[in-house]
A and B are shown apart, each in its own frame.
Chain A
């Protein structure tokens, strides 16, 4: 196909589904999207593109896409919906949510989203305009997705930090200021399968080509493990012990950066004393990793300069996720790798433009300190968890689902569910969430396709636009850029469009401020001095040198603190290895290890009954969480809901490759197709999450097979910690596996009877 007309835009959400950032060229013919290519001039991906973005045409024009608003006409779960106009749909939302607000207070409505996509901005905006404090990642046990890591960084360095792949520099890795990390620790992530936390996964391979050596820490062998100098195959959930063991080696062998520690850090002696409680024999016994391997990895990392860590969501999902993250941040802090080229660079939203409120500071800048304080009075979990009260705006997801059922301390009556399919995806203890959502008086689902959640609980469905159809903005982290629509599909509207219109109805004052979405974007862009029109068509902008949102060594230049003094944005101005904030929040100011809630050590009887650790959540390059099972080009690359099981374990259980097996514990039982592979440890199984079968019966009781396939039926809710964060036991649930025998294929009703939500 020859080059035609295209629209330059930026990927973030519906379509690839991801955390985004790529430059895209969207080719349009006669008003129709015909092709997607990577934008080779874009600094983020330089023309490359993942399979999910390349399959965008199949997503956008999928025959099952929601094209106009729908209202439920049968019972919930019967799948009977009727087309209505946008006016009727929005009037209904205004009326129903308005009634609930009048009767029970605005806090009785939860605004639920899933992962970190281009929905956080619009949904928090709607939630706060409505007056509810309950913006929640509903279903996400322990709130364990990045927020625990962010909290650990915020209350240690007063900022966030990420691996430096040159992403903050206009010339990227070619920039003269840039240095490639000599060593990269890939900790609990497979960067080949996606772009987590806004980080383009293949920047790691780019660094490898330029000489970076790898240390990989993971319970499972990945492409990266096979190419690592050191691969530490640890027991799931024991990352904190491993990090403390490494800190102990680095401190006791004097491999840390004394100058940096003396000049910029506080609490080093306390940290050293804590780390000394983790001698390698103890750590080895906890983690299953040989002591010598831990020592060598610690030395390799500490002796390289610069070195950087690329970490993943299993850290948040470990017991007390914030403390694991804190231990890992100390590795880069005491080795002086913070905010240096090729190290861990401080990451701030470009030009301090807040799109998706990533921090308390950003919430204050968007909504004002008073407002945030007022919201905290009713925010779910904010009274119980001091850290949560003092960090960002989210409600606590486990407490939210409990409250939806108990009505304590106040009733929850409605749920606004925007581009999140928790029943097919993240909801730990799926049945509990199913019951909680059924308990609501009114549920709105904003999404692109029917899914288990929309089928089971939606009263009203609003059709969401894909990336090809929307205007939005992105400042996560650099460059600052905007998204441009290329086509219109049905009557779909963008999350911003839908939420702005409703926000104006709930808060008429907004009518004076924002006529269109573009007005709102321009308002948010103000700190940058640019407008939407100046940024569109590929005019992304990087912050200038020596400004607060561009590296390096900002702590020396006085660019981090509001008072302009050198140092960090912490209460003491120092990098607090001993976190005074954590102390204030009634948490241990230093990192520690705690056993997973279920394990061979903590619950030996349970482990005797259920001897395998189920690690869910391994990423597939062709799916984003529970999405894309309905996209033919993608599904054929990863067709079946599998379980990865080690050959020795499979043999002992009489299971052969490709056979359907049952995975079960006291919470329930699911089925999966065995993939016998040495990449998993004999004592763990890897069970990919987000599985439902869009090609099967969607109405109740089947709900596209979730009661038969969804691994989260077996997982408990959290949190496991005084922080309110972490301990979503997605990585550490104990299970047993057994052979099912002939004819037991999923979605065909053969073999086991599907487990229903009512059970």
Chain B
């Protein structure tokens, strides 16, 4: 089976934390265990301030195997308030990425 992954259009990530909690709920991770974290990369750059967030699926991310096996989207992808995450085959996602500036592709273990 082709390798699956997450394409994250981080330019649109507003730092809303929905993915973080969606993942915890789905996996019943207690506080302190994170399947995905969202990091703030706010910085001053050329006289302006750039507020950017980047979601980082951790080693606990299993791409929501149980959900996807049942035909559901991963919990983070479905609930992302900005709709900035896509689940799919890594090769296919890489092609989408060509026309998606400021995005990252995540392939889990």
Contact = CB atoms under 8 A, between A and B. Distances in A.
Interface stretch (B55-63, B72-80, B91-99): B72-80
B52 interface: yes
Interface string A666-699: 0000000000011100000000000000000000
Interface string A482-526: 000000000000000000000000000000000000000000000
- Chain B interface residue bracket vs A: 20 to 34
B18 interface: yes
A531 interface: no
Given A1-B26, A222-B51, A679-B42, A205 B70 contact: no
Interface in A205-223: 205-206, 208-209, 221-223
A607 interface: no
B63 to A, nearest CB: 15
B43 interface: yes
B97 to A, nearest CB: 16
A384 B20 CA distance: 50
A54 B70 contact: no
A634 interface: yes
Given A621-B15, A678-B44, A678-B49, A54 B21 contact: yes
B16 interface: yes
A633 B24 contact: yes
Interface string A619-652: 0011000000000111111000000000000000
Contact of B51 (A48, A57, A221, A622): A221
A25 B79 CA distance: 12
A635 B20 CA distance: 12
B10 to A, nearest CB: 11
B7 interface: no
A49 interface: yes
B53 interface: yes
B23 to A, nearest CB: 9
Contacts of A745: none
Nearest to B24: A633
Nearest to A54: B21
A49 B79 contact: yes
Contact of B79 (A47, A206, A221, A223): A47
Contacts of B101: none
A201 B16 CA distance: 10
A48 B81 contact: yes
Contact of A48 (B66, B67, B83): B83
Given A223-B14, A622-B17, A635-B31, A40 B78 contact: yes
Contacts of B17: 51, 621-622, 637
A225 B51 contact: yes
B79 A54 contact: yes
A277 B39 CA distance: 46
Contacts of B18: 48-51, 54, 621
A440 interface: no
A3 B14 contact: no
Given A3-B70, A678-B43, 15 more contacts: A35-B25, A35-B26, A49-B81, A51-B21, A54-B21, A54-B22, A202-B16, A205-B14, A209-B83, A223-B14, A226-B48, A622-B21, A633-B21, A633-B25, A679-B51
Interface of B: 12, 14-18, 20-22, 24-26, 30-32, 42-44, 48-53, 66-67, 70, 72, 78-83
Interface of A: 1-3, 35-38, 40, 47-51, 54-55, 57, 192-193, 201-202, 205-206, 208-209, 221-223, 225-226, 231, 621-622, 632-637, 677-679
